[in-house]
Amino acid sequence: MNDTDASAWIFAYGSLMWNPGFAYLEERPALLRGYHRAFCIFSHVYRGSEKKPGLVLGLDRGGACRGRAFRVLRAREAEVLAYLDGRERVTGVYRRRRLMVRVPEGRAPAHAYVADPTHDQYAGRVTPEAAARLIAECAGSAGTNREYFEATLAHLETLGISDDGLRRIRARLETHASQAQRE
């Protein structure tokens, strides 16, 4: 791509898609191979606490992930990465990696935040039932885990990105809510 000398890309797959928090030149649909979107991170800050951890998205190994790529000026890259490191690496559960993504014009290197499987907040594979329970019951400094889940799923659907794993969790969330109302 011709613009890579003057710009850098940031890959977004969760809340960064609907709340990037930084100025960007443009955003494009992007595909990352080798990682998939998963509720695989225990949240001790934003959507839960150490005593009652929530569950948030991470890029976990294997598969592929459709998301968005944000292009930023190369001159602002360090500033944007400092902001994102402060936001995404607050407890060190995410590693910033430079990975190749496919955007409509071709392949481009992009910064992405991937789950660190050696970190104690890495949840690994979580069943839809367990994920729904945590998402329904937890909250942190940025709000409820349910708000995060719903905003992410709604944004994915608006972009035409289907995520069967999130839909399975939503079905369990609805069952969980129905059971809670009956009790």
Q: How far apart are CA 86 and CA 78, in angstroms?
A: 12
Q: Give per-residue pLDDT as tens, 117-175.
A: 999 999 999 999 999 999 999 999 999 999 999 999 999 999 999 999 999 999 999 88
Q: Give per-residue pLDDT as tens, 102-124.
A: 999 999 999 999 999 999 999 99
- Which pLDDT band, with edges at 50, 70 and 90, does 2 fall under? very low
Pair 121, 44: CB distance under 8 Å: yes
Asked whether residue 5 carries a pLDDT value surpassing 80, the answer given is no
In this prediction the pTM is 0.90
CA distances from 100 to 34, 61, 73, 105, 120 (A): 10, 14, 18, 13, 27
Residues 77-97 have a mean pLDDT of: 96
List residues with catalytic annotation: 88
pLDDT of residue 32: 98
